[in-house]
Chains A and B, each alone.
Chain A
Amino acid sequence: MAELSVAGTSSDTPALEARGIRKQFAGTVALEDADFSCRRGEVHVLLGANGAGKSTLVKILCGVQPPDEGTIHLDGEEVTMTDPIRAAELGVAAVFQELSLCPHLTVAENIMLAHEPTGPVGQIRSRQLRRRVSDLFEQVGIDHIKPDILVARLTLADQQLVEIAKALSHEPRTLIVDEGTSALGREEVRRLFDLLGRLRSQGTAIIFISHRMAEVREIADRLTVFRNGTNVGTVDAADMDEGYLVELMLGERIEKSFPERAPRPSSADEPLLDVTHLGAGDLLDDISFQLRAGEVLGVAGLEGQGQGDLLLALFGMVRRLSGEIRVRGERVRMGSPWKAIRAGFAFIPEDRKTQGLLQPQSLRENIVLASLGALTRHGLIDRSRERRTAESGMQRMQIKAASMELPVAALSGGNQQKVVIAKWLETGGDIFLFYDPTRGVDVGTKRAFYELIGELARDGKAVLLYSTELSELVGLCHRVMVMNDRRVVETLADNAITENAILAASLGVRERQVPEADAPTTQTAGGAS
């Protein structure tokens, strides 16, 4: 599968070329012998699953991070990019998903930030600055944003356009757009694509990263797929077969070892959690599912399709919910974490450092934090019971630490994660919500996690696992719900759970089928909200 025809090789030198790039972060290799090239006047789409190395590549190409090995060539000449300013001087500019605008400066001031036209004593020439920005807007066809307005007053979509204009103010010959459309609605995407189209015809090389297949289909001239930190193939858009691309993104199955799954509870069992028609403004739309004791239910999807919001809603962190949540047949009112905890929910946050633990405080204090009420007698904490609780929590989770008085900051990542779970076992929680728990976590800790989830299920707890890692969902879950645009679009069970199936459902394509088969909405014009 690895040998691929590199389509459409042409004689002219590429506008930008990276050769043999390697980049390592604290033990994990993000890029390994990665090649990439982009031509003048083309939109080149970068594809890849989470952690494939796309973002790292982009950061290296625009000087945010230096490569450990490898070279970058612009128009055939080798260059060294020390920082983004140098990159801009060399003609490479990038737009990132996270906005980098100063909200209390005007549009014009933001665009010309750090390269304002100045007079003899260094004063900023405001009129000239504004004129340059209006010229720029005219040139790229932005006619609805006034250069004088404060950025804070713009919609997110318009801010995104300003961000792009800011990149263009450096007159780049190569423009990189990293997930520039994730904040945009259909109308705004159209406007952005018009703009990219004009730039393309002016000869700019454009590198575009997106997870939305429909958009990719629309804008791409060529596509390059990254997997495990390396380029696994480049194809012309004309030859694009989405099912094939999905396979390319996943590659041959890397056998990961997962602990043996607990048997799936029978669907005749009473559900522990029963969610019907759950909705929340523009976050969630008509979600219904059931979760049984001993079951691990995965939540999958591309980033930002509502998976995280679903878990937050169940834990009382989202206001104004519609629909019904029943635990053991009884309707529960949501609205705050303490109500959710009383109903039996436990929440394992994404980032244990900032959301899960009191780092400088002891293991004991962390383990009992959510269950102090039960340990209080006559208004005072019963210290011996507190110690016993902490001890049993440490034993139950097999937390290895010399003393329960050690600060959790002194523990390894895996042990810290166990502390978070020990805390919830003490509250008597039986519905465990895992919010992407293994993101940015080392292999050993991941492994510990997988075992924990298996044990929880065997102990009769119900687990709702939101993960961005497909292999995890396949290896751990009894069922997987795939979300797209705030809804559950498909639920896979047992052997039907494969990485291909999940990714295909996430992207809204059928496995191994031509795209036209199921894409009626994407081609309809003018369906703006």
Chain B
Amino acid sequence: MNTSARKRTTALPAWLLQGVTISYILLIVLFAIAAAINPNYASWANIRNLLQIGAFIGVIAVGQTMVIITGQIDLSVPWNLTFSAILMATLISHGYGTTTAITAALISGTLVGIFNSIGTAIFRIHSLVWTLGVNALMQGATLVYTHAQPPKVDVPPLVRALGSGELYGIPVPLMVWIVAGAAALVVLHRTRFGRYLYAIGNNESALFLSGVDSRKVYLGAFAMSGFCAALAGIMLTGYSSQTYLGMGSDYLLIPIAAVIIGGTNIMGGSGGYLGSISGALIVVLLQSVLSTMQIQEAGKDIVFGSIIIVLLLLYGRQKLSNH
């Protein structure tokens, strides 16, 4: 039926149309352009800086990739992140130990993730709506809890190190990203849970009829996303040496954009974290290039939006060649 579409796409080799490949090609091209404009771009100091910032997006994208592979989305990241970070700061200001505070923040983030999965998997409310509501709920909770005034606190060295530290010349956030990223790749491609994430995104009823409790799979994905949001919140607290109410607001759409640019299907079922890595780097690189070119916020948004649209059109062709 769609032989005409098939003919057009087979003009290009199939691997070239894979989302992952496209995103890495785009990353290299972007980097080459940036370096051509300003040779400083290729300096280790600059690359280091990009990787450090990319780490925050990359960590959030670990959870978001898993959720998006199931065909859902987690919109509760910004205020889940903020709430967890402020919870940690408050505990520290009350004299609790750093490890206790960090653990509490991670548990809080994970619990919010579990709450997200309850709405999605048990009440069957689309995550687009449910997690948006949870985000608002967390925002309200944070404001009530802090009287709109996050605690002023001396950020302890461990947290500071997680956000901006350096070990053997390598930024600690980058190390965290590498560990989280490697774990994500293993989970997605080598474990049962990972396999079920893809299966649920392709055909939930087939998975259910194969004897897998799909609710647990959703639970795992959303819990992972909540955990990652909290982890990013802790890292960001260390990075900026403080907690503040708007700290999560940049971390909703940008990690989602990174996941999609990396070739993960927004409808679920295909993609992976390898793409999300290049997606995160592309996003950071673009932002950095656009601001050094002194393009204003509005201009940035236009470039950003156009890239996403073009990539989605490209990935759409890849879809056609599959059927």
Is B47 part of the contact surface with A, judged by Cβ < 8 Å?
no
Closest-CB distance, B224 to chain A (whole angstroms): 15
Cβ–Cβ contact A369 & B199, under 8 A: yes
Is B161 part of the contact surface with A, judged by Cβ < 8 Å?
no
Closest-CB distance, B3 to chain A (whole angstroms): 14
Cβ–Cβ contact A380 & B191, under 8 A: yes
Given contacts A359-B202, A361-B199, A381-B190, A407 and B209 within 8 Å (CB-CB): no
Q: Which of B191, B213, B322 contacts A360 (CB 8 A)?
A: B322
Cβ–Cβ contact B209 & A355, under 8 A: yes
Instruction: Specify which chain A residues have a CB less than 8 angstroms from the CB of B270 in the assembled complex.
Output: 360
Q: Count how many chain A residues have C-beta atoms less than 8 Å from C-beta atoms of the other chain.
A: 31
Is A126 part of the contact surface with B, judged by Cβ < 8 Å?
no
Cβ–Cβ contact B211 & A358, under 8 A: no
Q: Count how many chain B residues have C-beta atoms less than 8 Å from C-beta atoms of the other chain.
A: 22
Is B192 part of the contact surface with A, judged by Cβ < 8 Å?
yes
Closest-CB distance, B91 to chain A (whole angstroms): 32
In the complex, the chain B residue whose C-beta lies closest to that of A316 is B211
Instruction: Specify which chain A residues have a CB less than 8 angstroms from the CB of B203 in the assembled complex.
Output: 354-355, 357-359
Over the window 259-275 of chain B, the binary record of Cβ atoms lying under 8 Å from chain A Cβ atoms (1 yes, 0 no) is: 00000000001100000
Closest-CB distance, B62 to chain A (whole angstroms): 18
Closest-CB distance, A81 to chain B (whole angstroms): 26
Is A370 part of the contact surface with B, judged by Cβ < 8 Å?
yes
Q: Which of B190, B211, B269, B323 contacts A337 (CB 8 A)?
A: B211
Instruction: Specify which chain A residues have a CB less than 8 angstroms from the CB of B199 in the assembled complex.
Output: 358, 361, 365, 369
Is A427 part of the contact surface with B, judged by Cβ < 8 Å?
yes
Cβ–Cβ contact B206 & A356, under 8 A: yes
Instruction: Specify which chain B residues have a CB less than 8 angstroms from the CB of A423 in the assembled complex.
Output: 210
Is B16 part of the contact surface with A, judged by Cβ < 8 Å?
no
Is B198 part of the contact surface with A, judged by Cβ < 8 Å?
yes
Q: Which of B191, B207, B269, B322 contacts A379 (CB 8 A)?
A: B191
Instruction: Specify which chain A residues have a CB less than 8 angstroms from the CB of B186 in the assembled complex.
Output: 380
Cβ–Cβ contact B322 & A370, under 8 A: no
Cβ–Cβ contact A369 & B322, under 8 A: no
Given contacts A354-B205, A360-B269, A409-B323, A369 and B210 within 8 Å (CB-CB): yes
**Whole-angstrom CA separation of A365 from B199 in the bound complex:** 9
Cβ–Cβ contact B212 & A338, under 8 A: yes
**Whole-angstrom CA separation of A440 from B96 in the bound complex:** 66
Instruction: Specify which chain B residues have a CB less than 8 angstroms from the CB of A336 in the assembled complex.
Output: 213
Instruction: Specify which chain B residues have a CB less than 8 angstroms from the CB of A340 in the assembled complex.
Output: 211
Cβ–Cβ contact A370 & B211, under 8 A: yes
Cβ–Cβ contact A365 & B195, under 8 A: yes
User: Which parts of B284-323 form the interface with A (CB within 8 Å)?
Assistant: 322-323
**Whole-angstrom CA separation of A336 from B208 in the bound complex:** 9
**Whole-angstrom CA separation of A347 from B202 in the bound complex:** 19
Closest-CB distance, B7 to chain A (whole angstroms): 17
Is A118 part of the contact surface with B, judged by Cβ < 8 Å?
no
Instruction: Specify which chain A residues have a CB less than 8 angstroms from the CB of B206 in the assembled complex.
Output: 354-358, 369
**Whole-angstrom CA separation of A370 from B270 in the bound complex:** 19
Is A373 part of the contact surface with B, judged by Cβ < 8 Å?
yes
In the complex, the chain B residue whose C-beta lies closest to that of A342 is B211
Cβ–Cβ contact B192 & A349, under 8 A: no
**Whole-angstrom CA separation of A379 from B207 in the bound complex:** 19
Cβ–Cβ contact A381 & B322, under 8 A: no
Closest-CB distance, B206 to chain A (whole angstroms): 6
**Whole-angstrom CA separation of A347 from B206 in the bound complex:** 11
* 12 pairs of residues in contact across A and B, judged by CB atoms under 8 Å: A338-B211, A338-B213, A354-B206, A361-B198, A369-B199, A370-B211, A372-B195, A379-B191, A383-B190, A409-B322, A409-B323, A423-B210
19 more contacts with CB within 8 A, not counting A354-B205, A365-B199, are A315-B209, A337-B209, A337-B210, A338-B211, A349-B209, A354-B203, A354-B206, A360-B202, A361-B269, A365-B198, A369-B212, A370-B211, A372-B192, A376-B192, A379-B191, A380-B186, A383-B190, A407-B322, A409-B322
Residue ranges of A at the interface with B (Cβ–Cβ < 8 Å): 315, 336-338, 340-342, 347, 349, 354-361, 365, 369-370, 372-373, 376, 379-381, 383, 407, 409, 423, 427
Closest 10 CB pairs of A and B: A341-B211, A370-B210, A338-B211, A358-B202, A372-B192, A380-B190, A337-B211, A369-B210, A355-B205, A358-B203
